Structure 1
Amino acid sequence: MLLSLSRILVIFLLSASFNTFSANVSTYLPDGAVYNEKVPTPESTLGFGVGERHPRHDQVLSYLQQVAMVSPRVNIAEMGRTTEFRSQVLLTISSPENLANLDDILARRTDMTMSAEDPVVVWLGYSVHGDEISGTNAAMVVAYHLAASQDKNVANMLNDTIIVIEPSINPDGMDRFVNWVNTHRGMTENPDPNHIEHHQDWRTGRTNHFGFDLNRDWLLLSQKESQNRLPYFHKYQPNVLGDFHEMGANSSYFFQPGIPTRTHPLTPAKNTELTKLLATYHAKALDTKDRLYYSEESFDDFYYGKGSTYPDINGGVGVLFEQASSRGLQQNTINGLLTFEYGIQNHVLTSLSTIEGAWKHQAQFKAYRQSFYQQAKQQAQDESFNGYIFTETEDNYRLQSFLSKLQQHQINVYPLTQDYKIHQRSYIADKSFYIPLAQPQYRVIKALFNQQKNFQDNTFYDVSGWTLPLAMNIKFAQVGRTWGLKVAESPWQPNTVKVPEVSATAYAYVFEWHNFLAPKLLNKITSANIKAKVATKTFSATVNGTTRAFDKGTIIVPAGIQQLENWRSILADFAEDSQMPLLALDTGLTTKGIDLGSRSFSPVSAPKVLMVGGKGVSQYEAGEILYYLDNLLEIPVTVVEMDRLSAINFADYSHIIMVDGKYNSLNSRVLSKVQSWLVNGGVLFGQKRAARWLSDNEILEMDFVSKNHIDQLFDTESLNYGDKEVLAGRKRIAGAIFQSQLDTNHPLAYGYQFSELPVFRNSTVIMEQTNVPFISVAKYSEAPLLSGYADKNLVNRLGNNPTLVAHNVGKGRVIASTDDLAFRGYFLGSMKIIANSLFFSKAFSTSMAE
């Protein structure tokens, strides 16, 4: 049936108002440029122009795949899939001749002399924060320009350059943001900053599926997206990497170098010099369009876990770009109306200026890379020690995870072939490894193991300490002279450890809690109604004819109390799935300590966990604990926003987790429900400001240091206004690692061999010391700072103060920490405290009256 003329007119008018900007790709590109008509334009594939609306990841991917199909200048490869199964792709753009010989060219990059005449490599990474989407849209324009341009300069440039484009570093977050904006934008554009289009829900598009900031994960490699990318980064070994972001709407445009004093000391001075050289090209490109911008101000080049800094310890030059964000189609700002199209244009300009600058000065960038590794070799020789030795004897999961991260960073690690002793610690051959400094990744090794505590500029945009072995609770030491140290000739390679078969007739089965995945197995078996108990005292028993000692926290599964059919075969399957060895006991009579029928074996059950979420709650810390419990341990977590808590029946849950956040909006009805649930047996875990909220509401019997008290620690009498930023930096702990002392007898510390446990702190939420016995599960050591910067006034104030406390509330328990126990998914050392809080919270009893 034909549409009426009036109906057609209405559709046309609606379409015209929705597509306010007519964004033909040519509007982003040089005037008068000629393009190959066989290469499709973005608008011909998307059905709308770049900047007219926000495309989904699949639409961007479809367009780039079509470009790669028709252009001999473009290859496209899938690096992997995200948690939500979106494709992570990489475009390689160069001359057809270079692409035909790409494998040979890349293979030569490890030999600096052979590769001197090969193309310079420029990597452009876009929208690592999924809601900073002007970058992904700019990627489509840049890819079209390079694939279709008929300009001779472009062809000449492609002969000498390999451009690598990662169009969407965070596809899951990108689509979360796109769906929000496309849902909430009106048919008529609304630039009001208060409009819902510009204000995402609690889980923003900035983060990936688990709520992680992927721009903090290049070094830590906890997330799948980073693990998928890194082999390609090391395959291409880029000379220059552009990292394209967005910032607050009332800003303009930023490109590095940033503040000169906030560069990590491991980064060569020549790196900054080359960054400044590129900056002249960015300035020229933006000047031609009369765009506002700034440089050498804000941000820093310190933390190596970001896309703009990881290249700086890998022979390249990373450059951060920040565009003021419209966070929608358009927004009113102090600089006037900011449109999505405007932001895309700026990123296109600086993408092309990055390529141009690298191409025209390719000899300098190649020479820099060569000198970078030559200097690394010399610096390793000049060190006062030869390498690092490390060990982990009880937890194979943490050890293998640590080794895997080192290998992904191209670090050679050598197994010990005989035992070695240094600094009063023995390093057992089959559980210990050596890392020589004298290898190409010298600077990466130093960045991962460094424990520096003071710097030229102690003001940090991000964390100041991230020492990998401390985070993973791996014992390590510097090795001065290597005399007597025997290691394998070949570097470590991963191998599959087969779980031994499980006896079909055992009196009881045992597994030890020091293994990282022990909570995973315990949750599986208790969820399947297989009964298990935890040892609250030590014992020894005979296993395969040999007497073995078992520590507190050991789990037993006795045959005599099981009611489930086929429980043995189910248990064996769970053990294999969890990669956990089960030991068989033939009798309930132990050789030493408690027997298996003792009441000192406490029953454990599967937890039913509720996590408080929603506006005001840290999406990062919630994501970290979700990643640990849901992804690593396969323990389901029910997330309930604060504004829905009043309608929830808390009796359905055994545990409530509250991470850092602002909880003052919780009303008296919710507070009363929480208190009643606790008294009747619930377990409440609070972290950082959640712990303080529990104290303020007289649930947690602990006092906290006030802000006024912290202010009084600092003498401000002689300061002037110019010292304001420095003082603010001294009063905060941006992120550093501290030494805590665990009470290893406490059930919340089961699985820990040593009392020393490194923990991560990024706040000034400080508990006061307490005289109540047994309430402190962990406290800071007297001089607790291990890695990173914290002002001495704050370090001294933390010394000997509690960091993890727990006590009874009626039949229930409250547990509180002032540290981020699962920080960025790589603090495997302190994560187990969270699992212990779920399984062993009723294995202790500490009354405030004691």
Structure 2
Amino acid sequence: MSLSLCRIVIFCLFSLSFTVLSASVSTYLPKGSDYQQTIPTPESVLGFGIGERHPRHDQILSYLHQVAATADRVNIAEMGRTTQFRSQVLLTISSPENLSNIDDILARRSDIAASSKDPIVVWLGYSVHGDEISGTNAAMVVAYHLAASQDKAVADMLDDTIIVIEPSLNPDGMDRFVNWVTTHRGISENSDPNHIEHHQSWRTGRTNHFGFDLNRDWLLLSQKESQNRLPYFHQYQPNVLGDFHEMGANGSYFFQPGIPTRTHPLTPAKNTELTQLLATYHAKALDTQDRLYYSEESFDDFYYGKGSTYPDINGGIGVLFEQASSRGLQQDTVNGLLTFEYGIQNQVLTSLSTIEGAWKNQAKFKDYRRDFFKQAQKQASDENFNGYIFTETQDNYRLKTFLSKLQQHQIKVYPLKQDYKRHELTYIAEQSYYVPLAQPQYRVIKALFNQDKNFKDNTFYDVSGWTLPLAMNIKFDQVSSTWGLKTQDKPWREMVVETAEFDNSAYAYVFEWHEFLAPKLLHKIAQANIKAKVATKDFSAAVNGEVKTFSPGTIIVPAGIQNVENWRKILADFATQSQIPLNALVTGLTTKGIDIGSSSFRPISAPKVLLVGGKGVSQYEAAEMLYYLDNLLEIPVTVVEMQRLAAIDLASYSHIIMVDGKYKALSTQFVGKFASWMANGGVIFSQKSAAKWLSSNEILKMDFVSKNHIDQLFDTEKLTYGDKEKLSARKRIAGAIFQAELDISHPLAFGYEQSDLPVFRNSTIIMQQTNEPFITVAKYSKSPLLSGYSDKNLVNRLANNPTLVAHNVGKGRVIASTDNLVFRGYFLGSMKIVANSLFFAKAFSATLAE
């Protein structure tokens, strides 16, 4: 080897050594600590140091599994798998003695008196937003420190504490982000905020596989990751939960409490006091390294569907942490150069301060938890009603889903023994249930069923109304007296329902559209070339010797027009998979209404759907739409970015869906192409700003209320500069539930038996009232606000205005909604309107006056 080459090799080895050393786990750990040498360090397994690169999920798991295999203080368990089949893991770290008795300790958690001498539980959850990855990297450092430290203080702490680490709450999103950063980073680090490394494509790593924000799903439980986690949360019942995030690069470091006036009234005042106590530990840890931070600003503690708030109604203290994000390896900010390592260090410091604060004040946190559940019993007894009763007679899927969500939240629900009448509504025993307030989950029950409309502070970081039975269109009521109410002794548990025997010789098969999964079955049989028709009028027919009435929207599969081999077996299998009962008819002559051969039965074909996506389109609303159609109904959806739309042959698609977004970038030439596609029979479903764009291009013949008009609703004459933020809050609808009135005679309302329908609104996009007949499918009621905050001026302006309209465009149809009908994957009550738009758009005709 030449001397020059030797010098280069030595230089490279020295440089590599320096790089690894600078990112060594020791740089993140308390000074002067000793560590057990048999426990592997992160860099020894990853091949690079913490903060030097962005590790993939599999690399992180590999390291944590090796720590668990070599440390007697660490257990690791798989909670489940994500949609992309990545493992969701949970580390339990404590003394060896505690871990050997962990099952007994956790079993005692539900008996608060018995568990008072057991260790306190601290849960640390990292990077629920997958592109906020400093938390996940900090998790490896914290796990190593707790597993390998030989300091007496750590050993003493582990005797009294069980630490639960969820290193990555969103593995799918995290790997999406890691792939992006790894692809776009250069050999030389680029701190320019404009560099592509810091700007992800349309589907960012923030969200999970479908594009959902998992930090909004703890209460709603629409996503697999949340459903996998929740049983473990309730098993451990943490006293303290740290929720580690990132925010904009120009911030510093935030920890709760948040804005004091924006705490949900169900949260005890003592919760904020204990959060402030923990804050002193965070401040001390950050002060030692002269790091910038702040508290009691920007963020709130209102919506209970987040990792930092869900513990607040479950006897724990949830704490939000927000680190300014480098997004890549480094970024120039108003505070100077922000590096990935710097953010990780802050997350490590506050992880350890959370553990220390909880451990040193464990008696206070244990007392709080005990008092929390004692107060819950007293508060339940002080209420002017005893519980909630609810029913759903038409759709077993929505009912079972609602029951399952309550059960996952550890709420006891009791089936009725006999029918019960209240307010002229009879609750049928087989389809009705009672939720008593007097149970440990009193606050969770209230959080899910409340319809609050008035609040101390009307500014919301997230939604203000999320009432679960309204979202799922489940009829419910408060029960002020249980006299005459008879319930089963044991709470509801899901039972396996036996499939009814299939009639292989029927004249026709009928299934009803009010079933939530009816569109799933219809699409499956249409794709299999089994011919089906929809009834546009009522009819009655004999089924199993009894006359049954079928509403418009009912689907019929006549035997006489089929030409697919084994179509009966295929139909039966699809019906079983979709959980839809089939009714067998023995004749085409009905007892009342249209006969089976009537032209009032319209043929159905499988839709081919294009969803407009890409930059400029709301990734959240597109994700929610895709989740409903693809995941719940198994209808394939082709996603085309807006930038590619002009090059697509639209004739290949029967339907186009446009969610909220900025569509001004679409050219005039494309608008003409779009209008031509509709004139030839294409169907467009649009919501919110997409509907406004269609109106501005004269495709949708509706006028919208202007921003100036909304501004004029608010008197600003006597306002001071200090009132600016409050006025802004009054002018927006952050997220509330409103009452719509459906025209249930319209084909887009097939499957709905009642005209009242709760819908979700989070914008001030308002349609003007119209004199055109037959195009308004739904309008807001006279007093539309059902749950959440909306200024009375906006509520009054919305009253009686259209929320869903539809009319002809040549041979095609345009359908427009001002609401998000599939919000966050849990608004099951209004979702069917989207399915109706796919299957029944040609079942109506509403031409406009010339």
TM-score (norm 1): 0.99
| 2:533 aligned partner | 533
Q: Give the CA deviation at 1:424.
A: 1.2
Q: Give the CA deviation at 1:13.
A: 9.0
| 1:815 aligned partner | 815
Query: Aligned in 2, Cα 1:7/1:833: closer, same or farther, shift over 3 Å?
Result: farther
Q: Give the CA deviation at 1:160.
A: 0.2
| Distance across 2 between alignment mates of 1:11 and 1:817 | 65
| 1:616 aligned partner | 616
After TM superposition, list the pairs within 5 Å mapping 1:703-714 onto structure 2: 703-714=703-714
Provide runs of 4+ in structure 1 moved above 6 Å.
1-4
Q: Give the CA deviation at 1:6.
A: 8.0
| Distance across 2 between alignment mates of 1:3 and 1:614 | 55
Q: Give the CA deviation at 1:669.
A: 2.3
Query: Aligned in 2, Cα 1:3/1:416: closer, same or farther, shift over 3 Å?
Result: farther
| 1:458 aligned partner | 458
| 2:69 aligned partner | 69
| 1:115 aligned partner | 115
| Distance across 2 between alignment mates of 1:201 and 1:18 | 34
| Distance across 2 between alignment mates of 1:771 and 1:647 | 38
Q: Give the CA deviation at 1:498.
A: 2.3
| Distance across 2 between alignment mates of 1:500 and 1:264 | 47
| Distance across 2 between alignment mates of 1:12 and 1:633 | 56
| Distance across 1 between alignment mates of 2:17 and 2:167 | 29
Query: Aligned in 2, Cα 1:788/1:540: closer, same or farther, shift over 3 Å?
Result: same
After TM superposition, list the pairs within 5 Å mapping 1:558-597 onto structure 2: 558-597=558-597
| Distance across 2 between alignment mates of 1:49 and 1:607 | 51
| 1:742 aligned partner | 742
| Distance across 2 between alignment mates of 1:822 and 1:88 | 27
Q: Give the CA deviation at 1:566.
A: 1.2
| Distance across 2 between alignment mates of 1:622 and 1:99 | 44
Q: Is the 8 Å Cα contact of residues 772 and 848 (structure 1) preserved in structure 2?
A: yes
- Per-residue Cα deviation, 1:269-300 (whole angstroms, up to 9, x for no partner): 00000000000000000000100000011110
| Distance across 2 between alignment mates of 1:2 and 1:573 | 75
Q: Does 1:204 align with 2:216?
A: no
**Match of 2:485, SS?**
coil
Q: Is the 8 Å Cα contact of residues 575 and 581 (structure 2) preserved in structure 1?
A: yes
| 2:399 aligned partner | 399
| 1:308 aligned partner | 308
Query: Aligned in 2, Cα 1:549/1:52: closer, same or farther, shift over 3 Å?
Result: same
Number of residues of Structure 1 aligned to a counterpart in Structure 2: 850
| 1:41 aligned partner | 41
**Match of 1:51, SS?**
coil
- Per-residue Cα deviation, 1:296-338 (whole angstroms, up to 9, x for no partner): 1111000000000000000000000000000000000000000
Q: Does 1:630 align with 2:648?
A: no
The one-letter code of the counterpart of 1:340 is: F
Q: Give the CA deviation at 1:501.
A: 2.5
Identity %: 79
The one-letter code of the counterpart of 1:123 is: W
| Distance across 2 between alignment mates of 1:195 and 1:664 | 25
Q: Does 1:53 align with 2:20?
A: no
Q: Is the 8 Å Cα contact of residues 20 and 48 (structure 2) preserved in structure 1?
A: no
| Distance across 2 between alignment mates of 1:341 and 1:574 | 53
**Match of 1:803, SS?**
strand
- Per-residue Cα deviation, 1:628-673 (whole angstroms, up to 9, x for no partner): 0000000000000011111111011000000000000111222121
| Distance across 2 between alignment mates of 1:615 and 1:17 | 42
Q: Give the CA deviation at 1:423.
A: 1.1
Query: Aligned in 2, Cα 1:519/1:19: closer, same or farther, shift over 3 Å?
Result: farther
Most deviating of 805-814 and 19-28 = 19-28
| 2:136 aligned partner | 136
| Distance across 1 between alignment mates of 2:10 and 2:639 | 44
Query: Aligned in 2, Cα 1:494/1:22: closer, same or farther, shift over 3 Å?
Result: same
Most deviating of 170-179 and 502-511 = 502-511
| 2:643 aligned partner | 643
Q: Is the 8 Å Cα contact of residues 19 and 53 (structure 1) preserved in structure 2?
A: no
- Per-residue Cα deviation, 1:6-53 (whole angstroms, up to 9, x for no partner): 897599399859959821000001111110000000000000000001
Q: Give the CA deviation at 1:502.
A: 1.9
**Match of 2:685, SS?**
strand
- Per-residue Cα deviation, 1:550-580 (whole angstroms, up to 9, x for no partner): 0000000011111111111111111111111
Q: Is the 8 Å Cα contact of residues 472 and 828 (structure 1) preserved in structure 2?
A: yes
Query: Aligned in 2, Cα 1:585/1:846: closer, same or farther, shift over 3 Å?
Result: same
| 1:678 aligned partner | 678
Q: Is the 8 Å Cα contact of residues 535 and 600 (structure 2) preserved in structure 1?
A: yes
Q: Does 1:342 align with 2:332?
A: no
**Match of 1:115, SS?**
coil
Q: Is the 8 Å Cα contact of residues 222 and 824 (structure 2) preserved in structure 1?
A: yes
After TM superposition, list the pairs within 5 Å mapping 1:263-662 onto structure 2: 263-662=263-662
| Distance across 1 between alignment mates of 2:3 and 2:585 | 81
Q: Which blocks of at least 5 consecutive residues in structure 2 are unaligned?
A: none
The one-letter code of the counterpart of 2:645 is: L
The one-letter code of the counterpart of 1:635 is: I
| Distance across 1 between alignment mates of 2:73 and 2:588 | 72
**Match of 2:322, SS?**
strand
Q: Give the CA deviation at 1:726.
A: 0.6
**Match of 2:456, SS?**
coil
Q: Is the 8 Å Cα contact of residues 20 and 49 (structure 2) preserved in structure 1?
A: no
The one-letter code of the counterpart of 1:753 is: E
Query: Aligned in 2, Cα 1:14/1:761: closer, same or farther, shift over 3 Å?
Result: farther
- Per-residue Cα deviation, 1:711-735 (whole angstroms, up to 9, x for no partner): 1100111111111111110000000
| Distance across 2 between alignment mates of 1:622 and 1:14 | 50
| Distance across 2 between alignment mates of 1:3 and 1:536 | 89
After TM superposition, list the pairs within 5 Å mapping 1:94-243 onto structure 2: 94-243=94-243
Q: Is the 8 Å Cα contact of residues 256 and 276 (structure 1) preserved in structure 2?
A: yes
| 2:775 aligned partner | 775
| Distance across 2 between alignment mates of 1:251 and 1:336 | 11
- Per-residue Cα deviation, 1:559-616 (whole angstroms, up to 9, x for no partner): 1111111111111111111111111101110000000010100111100000000001
Q: Is the 8 Å Cα contact of residues 512 and 555 (structure 2) preserved in structure 1?
A: yes
Q: Is the 8 Å Cα contact of residues 392 and 431 (structure 1) preserved in structure 2?
A: yes
Q: Give the CA deviation at 1:496.
A: 1.5
Query: Aligned in 2, Cα 1:560/1:366: closer, same or farther, shift over 3 Å?
Result: same
Most deviating of 107-116 and 475-484 = 107-116
The one-letter code of the counterpart of 1:826 is: Y
**Match of 1:114, SS?**
coil
Q: Does 1:847 align with 2:847?
A: yes
Q: Is the 8 Å Cα contact of residues 18 and 188 (structure 1) preserved in structure 2?
A: no
- Per-residue Cα deviation, 1:431-486 (whole angstroms, up to 9, x for no partner): 00000000000000000000000111010000000000000000000000100000
- Per-residue Cα deviation, 1:385-412 (whole angstroms, up to 9, x for no partner): 0000000001000000000000000000
Query: Aligned in 2, Cα 1:660/1:10: closer, same or farther, shift over 3 Å?
Result: farther
**Match of 1:832, SS?**
helix
Query: Aligned in 2, Cα 1:657/1:433: closer, same or farther, shift over 3 Å?
Result: same
Q: Is the 8 Å Cα contact of residues 18 and 189 (structure 1) preserved in structure 2?
A: no
| Distance across 1 between alignment mates of 2:792 and 2:21 | 55
**Match of 2:754, SS?**
coil
Q: Give the CA deviation at 1:5.
A: 3.2
| Distance across 2 between alignment mates of 1:178 and 1:467 | 36
| Distance across 1 between alignment mates of 2:265 and 2:819 | 27
The one-letter code of the counterpart of 2:328 is: G
**Match of 2:530, SS?**
coil
